[in-house]
């Protein structure tokens, strides 16, 4: 693990992106302290204003402070992004381990189910799930989580297939280890690398899907601030107050870029073919 | 008559492979009716060319591969009749040492964890006792307890094989199946590991089933030797008898190929013609007949059965029966 740390610190993209993501998390956690105003408070006399001393990024059509809303929106985006990926990682890993290790019809059954999930476009499936469950933060998390399960199942299954025939797994069987022990103690620690890469890439996708759902009015419900919802509302006032649409977009772009570049950098670090470069 | 520790009766493992949906199933007879008896405290070796089924035999005995047919008695108990839980409990008494010390240790675990695992699995002692046990064991195999917190990649091949042996031994098993334990090591290290295994055998009263293709190594370590050819045992005898009076034509050919460290001594080498036939399509009759120097008509049609040529020396060949 120390070599991983060394290579991580040597990779400028990885360090830069992790600092950016750390700042983002900090912003989300400290939102009540950092935000200059209540994100839902309406200043009736300051509707759709540009930047000013009091409202750094201006206000929206109800006179709510954009900066505060973006800061609180980071909370929603990160919470939804992280929890959704957590849901996918937990179920995807479980399914992937079982499918890869047991093989035969279990593998066939699980993977065909995943193929069915995979066959739908991501956003369409999420929409369908939200339509069934109803809108709201928790349901949005579940919907995005379920949509991403197949990717993790495939990643883990592939890794398990290559690991399960190695001698140390047989060695664990020879000393009398039970199947769950082999799965979680011998195999799981050795699939964390691809899992880590896939997770950091999936977080950005989850944030994007959440925004898309909120944009369509099925994700986070107003008046709670979310970046997707803000963009959706701002659409109508684009010409009058361009700041309303620009700033949430900037926040989202930076977040997603940071996540993606972080994922790419981690993959490069962990990939033995990139070593020594 | 001593009570055997391990008794293998007509052990069979057939792998079936299906190439296409409509093609006929192909059966590979990796192990085809192996009989073997191992007494407590002795070292029995299985030798043979690569692909003759010796590793599969070892794994079938431990049920790491499920045998197709046959019986495996360990201390009088049929291993094949045990259920999953009983089998895991029984594994305490029979352990495997692997060929490749680079692949047989989980790269994510420290040596301490690797050695402690068997104890945790079988619920032996608390964490303090286990640690003590692990420290003792690592010293027995010639490493120091300061190395317990390191990871496998920080060790050399010989050191890793010592760790593999320690891991197999920590449960104090009665039987160790050693699957080519030294063939992945440098020659200088091979001798060290073999001597270590012999010392441990005396110290812990172990029984070894030693699988190897190296006849010199086998001669060094074994009490009795079984020669395998194409999934069958063709000759079993104690070491002396086998190396001095090899009876089966295949054994004779194998032994003639062992280099003799004396330049003045000219030995006549028996060159085996042809390759090892595929176990998916073995020859009729005696499976060795296409490569045998003494091939007779009967060999092509009738499979020979084992006969005792001298005490404890069994040969499966028509020459000895006529």
At A5-56, the pLDDT tens digits run 888 888 888 899 999 989 988 988 888 888 787 877 777 777 777 777 777 7
For A247-266, the pLDDT digits (tens) are: 889 998 999 999 889 888 88
Q: Return the sign of the alpha-carbon dihedral for residues A114, A120, A122, A124.
A: negative
Alpha carbon distance A115, B20 (integer Å): 23
Nearest to A59 by CA among A74, A75, A39: A39
Task: Give me the pLDDT at residue B82, please.
Answer: 85
Q: What is the pLDDT of residue A87?
A: 94
Binned at pLDDT 50, 70 and 90, residue A88 comes out as very high
In a domain? residue A199: yes
Query: Average model confidence (pLDDT) for chain B?
Result: 85
Share of chain B above pLDDT 70, in %: 97
Virtual torsion, Cα B280, B284, B289, B294, nearest 10 deg: 170
How far does A111 lie from chain B, in Å, by closest CA?
20
**Contact of B117 with A177, CB cutoff 8 Å:** yes
Q: How confident is the model at residue B267 (pLDDT cuts 50, 70, 90)?
A: low
Tell me if A189 and B171 make a contact (CB, 8 A cut-off): no
Contact B221, B210 (CB under 8 A): yes
User: How many C-beta neighbours within 10 Å does residue B19 have?
Assistant: 9
Of the ranges A100-114, B3-17, B238-252, which is most confident?
A100-114
ipTM of the complex: 0.80
Domain count of the fold of chain A? 1
Please judge whether A176 and B121 are an interchain contact, meaning their C-beta atoms are less than 8 angstroms apart. yes
| Probe site for chain A from B58, B60, B93, B104 (most A CB atoms < 10 A) | B104
For residue A174, the distance in angstroms to the closest alpha carbon of chain B comes to 6
Residue by residue, DSSP assigns B114-155 as HHHHHHHHTT-S-HHHHHHHHHHHHHHTT--GGGGGS-GGGS
Helix (H) or strand (E) holding B235: strand B232-238
Q: What pairing do the DSSP bridges indicate for beta strands B175-179 and B207-212? A: parallel
Average pLDDT over residues A173-184: 87
A45 belongs to a structural domain = no
| A266 lies in some domain | yes
Least confident of A25-29, A58-62, A187-191, B62-66: A58-62
Residue A10 domain flag: yes
pLDDT at A234: 83
| pLDDT at residue A276, rounded to an integer | 47
Domains (range + CATH), chain B: 6-320 (3.40.50.300)
8 Å CB contact of A167 and B96: no
Structural domain includes residue A44: no
Query: Does residue B124 surpass a pLDDT of 50?
Result: yes
Tell me how close the Cα of B136 comes to any Cα of chain A, in angstroms. 19
Residue A145 belongs to a domain with what CATH number? 1.10.3720.10
Q: What are phi and psi of B82, to 5 degrees?
A: -75, 145
- For the beta sheet containing B69-74, the strands, ordered from the edge strand earlier in sequence to the opposite edge, are B26-38, B6-17, B69-74, B77-78
B47-57: average pLDDT: 85
Q: Which two tokens stand for residue B133?
A: 């046990």
pLDDT-derived band at A113 (thresholds 50, 70, 90) equals very high
Does A50 fall in a domain? no
Cβ pair B106:A173 closer than 8 A? no
Q: Would you say residue B294 has pLDDT above 60?
A: yes
pLDDT band at A157 (very low <50, low <70, confident <90, very high): very high
What local confidence, expressed as pLDDT, does residue A84 receive? 92
Residue whose C-alpha is closest to residue A88's, from A106, A109, A120, A114: A114
**Mean pLDDT for chain A overall:** 85
Q: Please compute the mean of the pLDDT values over residues B236-254 and round it to a whole number.
A: 86
Q: Where are the alpha helices (DSSP H) in chain A?
A: 2-10, 12-29, 31-34, 66-102, 104-119, 122-133, 137-163, 167-174, 179-181, 192-215, 227-234, 243-270
CA dihedral B97, B98, B100, B106 (to 10 degrees): -90
| CB neighbours of residue A128 within 10 Å | 13
Query: Choosing among A104, A168, A179, which should be mutated to test the B contact, i.e. which has the most B CBs within 10 A?
Result: A168
pLDDT reading at B147 higher than 70: yes
What is the span of the domain harbouring residue A21? 2-37+57-274
Pairwise CB contact (< 8 Å): B105 & A171: yes
How many residues are there in chain A? 277
Q: Is residue B47 pLDDT above 80, yes or no?
A: yes
* Residue with more model confidence, B84 or A95: A95
Contact between residue B233 and residue B307 where contact means Cβ atoms under 8 Å apart:
no
Does residue A7 lie within any of the structural domains? yes
pLDDT value, residue B123: 84
Angle at A205 between CA A200 and CA A210, to 5 degrees: 125
- Is A189 near chain B, with CB under 8 Å? yes
Measure CA A51 to chain center: 31
Q: What is the pLDDT of residue A277?
A: 43
In a domain, A42, yes or no: no
The Cα A110–Cα A96 span in angstroms is 8
Q: What is the mean pLDDT of residues A85-104?
A: 92
Stretch among A77-91, A262-276, B9-23 having the lowest mean pLDDT:
A262-276
A1 shares contact with chain B (CB less than 8 Å):
no
Residue B66 in tokens: 């499920």
A272 pLDDT tier (thresholds 50, 70, 90): low
């Amino acid at each position: 693990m120390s070599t991983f740390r060394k290579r991580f610190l040597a990779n400028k993209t990885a360090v830069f992106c992790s600092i950016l993501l750390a700042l983002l998390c900090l912003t989300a956690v400290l939102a009540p302290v950092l935000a200059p105003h209540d994100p839902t408070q309406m200043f009736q006399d300051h509707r759709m204003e540009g930047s000013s001393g009091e409202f750094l990024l201006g206000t929206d059509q109800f006179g709510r402070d954009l900066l505060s809303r973006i800061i609180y929106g980071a909370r929603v985006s990160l919470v939804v992004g992280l929890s959704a990926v957590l849901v996918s990682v937990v179920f995807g890993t479980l399914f992937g381990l079982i499918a890869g290790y047991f093989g035969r019809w279990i593998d066939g059954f699980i993977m065909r189910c995943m193929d069915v999930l995979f066959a739908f476009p991501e956003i369409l499936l999420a929409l369908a799930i939200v339509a069934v469950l109803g809108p709201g933060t928790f349901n949005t998390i579940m919907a995005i989580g379920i949509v991403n399960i197949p990717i993790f199942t495939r990643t883990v299954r592939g890794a398990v297939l290559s690991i399960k025939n190695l001698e140390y797994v047989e060695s664990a069987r020879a000393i009398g280890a039970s199947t769950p022990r082999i799965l979680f103690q011998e195999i799981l620690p050795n699939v964390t690398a691809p899992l880590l890469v896939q997770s950091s890439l999936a977080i950005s996708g989850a944030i994007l899907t959440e925004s898309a759902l909120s944009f369509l009015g099925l994700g986070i419900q107003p008046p709670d601030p979310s970046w997707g919802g803000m963009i959706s509302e701002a659409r109508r006032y684009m010409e009058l107050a361009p700041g309303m649409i620009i700033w949430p977009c900037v926040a989202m772009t930076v977040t997603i870029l940071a996540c993606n570049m972080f994922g790419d950098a981690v993959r490069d670090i962990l990939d033995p073919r990139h070593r020594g470069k | 008559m001593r009570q055997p520790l391990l008794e293998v009766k007509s052990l069979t493992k057939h792998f079936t492979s299906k190439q296409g949906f409509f093609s006929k199933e192909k059966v590979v007879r990796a192990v085809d009716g192996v009989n073997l008896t191992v007494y407590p405290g002795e070292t029995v070796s299985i030798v043979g060319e690569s692909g003759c089924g010796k590793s599969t035999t070892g794994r079938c005995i431990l049920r790491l591969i499920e045998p197709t047919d046959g019986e495996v008695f360990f201390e009088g108990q049929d291993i094949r009749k045990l259920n999953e839980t009983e089998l895991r409990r029984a594994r305490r008494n029979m352990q495997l040492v692997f060929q490749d010390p680079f692949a047989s240790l989980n790269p994510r675990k420290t040596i301490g964890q690797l050695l402690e695992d068997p104890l945790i699995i079988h619920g032996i002692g608390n964490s303090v006792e286990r640690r003590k046990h692990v420290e003792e064991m690592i010293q027995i195999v010639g490493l120091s307890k300061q190395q317990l917190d390191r990871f496998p990649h920080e060790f050399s091949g010989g050191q890793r094989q010592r760790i593999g042996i320690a891991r197999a031994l920590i449960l104090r098993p009665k039987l160790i199946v050693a699957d080519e334990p030294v063939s992945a090591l440098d020659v200088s290290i091979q001798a060290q590991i073999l001597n270590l295994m012999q010392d441990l055998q005396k110290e812990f009263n172990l029984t070894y089933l030693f699988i190897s293709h190296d006849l010199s190594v086998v001669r060094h370590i074994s009490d009795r030797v079984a020669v395998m050819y194409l999934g069958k045992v063709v000759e079993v005898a104690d070491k002396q008898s086998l190396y001095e009076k090899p009876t089966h034509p295949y054994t004779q050919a194998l032994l003639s190929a062992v280099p003799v460290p004396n330049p003045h001594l000219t030995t006549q080498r028996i060159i085996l013609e042809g390759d090892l036939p595929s176990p998916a399509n073995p020859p009729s009759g005696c499976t060795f007949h296409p490569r045998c120097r003494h091939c007779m008509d009967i060999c092509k049609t009738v499979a020979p059965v084992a006969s005792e040529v001298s005490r404890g020396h069994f040969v499966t060949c028509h020459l000895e029966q006529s």
